[in-house]
A and B are shown apart, each in its own frame.
Chain A
Amino acid sequence: MEETAGQTFWQRMQQIPRYYVYLLLAAVVVWQLLMPIRLPIVPSSATTGLYDAIKAAPDDKLIIISTDWDASTQAETGPQTQAVINACFQLKKRFVIMNMQPPMGVKLSNDIALAVGKQYGARYGIDWANWGYKYGYGNVLMALAKDIPKAIGDDFDGKPATTLPLMKGVKDIKSISLVIEITGLSGMTESWIGLIQGPYQVPFASAYTAVMAPGYYPFLDSGQMKGMLVGAKGAAEMEALVKRPGSATTIMNVQSWAHVLIIVLIVLGNVGYVLSRSRRGERAR
């Protein structure tokens, strides 16, 4: 290899300036957003587990969707929420949204439910409701287990939750068929499992950002979680299951090529590293 300015080609491959890396990544993202190459989405067992749990939920009970996320993780948790709500409407399961932290999540998920509900002609208070932001983590869950109307009080719009037709007959945690926790925060799942799933045997499933999901596989493995959506991939798989490709499917195309770019860069850097090390060894001999 020819040497330029004291550095070989392979040495330079180890030190590509970071703005070129940023530029390449931006180019890949824009390319896939403008001209997507559709790739197959194969649902994993974790995603089908969540879908099956929604399907198996008794019609006379409510599903709780706890949307504990905000704009920082919206790229993953937003499509997850949308896909889960789509599945609930499609399978004709009544659900309630609630939020414990961060408070922004309750409005963002409310907007999603309103938009998706419009496609199915869903009515607020009958097919779904929003219990709003409830402060207190474990305290809220303990109160919820014993007396739901008392623990919830008012809904997202400030109306007494008991006035909603959906809440008729809802007393305690036995009125809940499934809890789905969608979050970008660690610690929420532990509260749900410790205070609700374990003691009351309420089926539980969850959706996490891809970066935090590996930490929750033990709960899936033990059967404490019926299913799990892993990042945008899980959302795209759910979209495939409900046959409504949305933003997550687009995100996965983009992410596919971004991963390929990162792998190519790592390989280039390593080939450069190995070759320049062997050359140094030859020179030393």
Chain B
Amino acid sequence: MTQGALVLRIVASLVGSFVLLYILHRVLGPRGRRWLIAIVTFAGGLFYGLEWYFPVHGHPAKNFLTDYIEPVSNMLAVVAAFTVGLGIYSLCQVHGRNVARQRPGWYNSLAFFVAMVAMFTFGLWEHYLHLPEPAPAVLPWPKAIYEVLFSGLFVPLQAATFSLLAFYIASAAYRAFRIRSAEAALMMTAAFIVMLGQVPIGAWLTDAIPHTPVLGFFRLEKLGEWVLRWLNTPAQRGILFGVAVGALAMSLRVWLSLERGTFFSEQS
């Protein structure tokens, strides 16, 4: 398919989708819309369920639904892309109001617009530069600006924000960890073993203990691993079972549109 025909097809699909959605929106009442969504949700769940459980044949192993996985996945990606657009629209609405009415902290909203426009512009620009391989020693300026924005600002800012957690955790652990009961003492002992066992200083502190099967167990790195593998694992497995059963029940409720608290149940 030529580039022009592809663009034409995309535009026609978009226009067709909008017209269809508009007609459905006008024709169907809240009850009809709810039924439509329930049917689409059920059909989607049924498709993936049947494809997964239906016997497969040949190489590569397929059943009668396998070939449709890709187009259905693409449809899902398109729907998700629309939600990104909706998110951007909502953000622009909120921050646009803040800037227009000069609400307290409006300059933060302005920073959002500047950051979004800059990243969007230079991100797309550098993508379509099609630089030769290996990349030239002196980068073209749109690519250089993109690198500054992404690698020089975005990445370190995100990393710095999360690294602040280390300071909060240190302070919180010092303030909150008090031996007020036998359980708290037990928890603190386990915490100290794991904290020291997870870092090289633990191995260094108990370096004098030989690596024999009996004595070696008391080396801090071994003791820490024992706590994680033998005490933590059963507890985690119990939690996992509970989560899995809950997820199964939740999936069934969503699939059969029984879940309350959705937009339509609120509306009705």
Contacts and interface: CB of A to CB of B under 8 A. Distances in A.
B69 A72 contact: no
A162 interface: no
A74 B159 contact: yes
Contact of B73 (A140, A214, A231): A140
Of A18, A151, A255, A262, which is in contact with the most chain B CB atoms at under 10 Å from its CB?
A262
Interface string B201-236: 111100100000000000001000100110011001
B200 A258 contact: no
A140 B76 CA distance: 11
A275 interface: no
Interface string B51-73: 11000000011100010011011
A26 B163 CA distance: 11
Interface in A252-282: 252-253, 255-263, 265-266, 269-270, 273-274
A192 B156 CA distance: 30
Interface in A119-144: 124, 135-136, 139-140, 142-143
A139 B60 contact: no
Interface residues of A, number: 66
B77 A135 contact: yes
Interface stretch (B17-25, B96-104, B172-180): B172-180
Contacts, number: 156
A135 B82 CA distance: 13
A39 B200 contact: yes
Contacts of B229: 217, 220-221
Contact of A72 (B150, B158, B178, B221): B158
A233 B199 contact: yes
Interface string B130-170: 00010000000000000000110011111101110011011
Interface stretch (A2-10, A40-48, A88-96): A40-48
Contact of A256 (B166, B201, B225): B201
Given A221-B229, A256-B199, A214 B236 contact: yes
A22 B171 contact: yes
Interface of B: 48, 51-52, 60-62, 66, 69-70, 72-73, 76-77, 80, 133, 150-151, 154-159, 161-163, 166-167, 169-171, 173-175, 177-179, 188, 192, 195-196, 198-204, 207, 221, 225, 228-229, 232-233, 236-237, 239-240
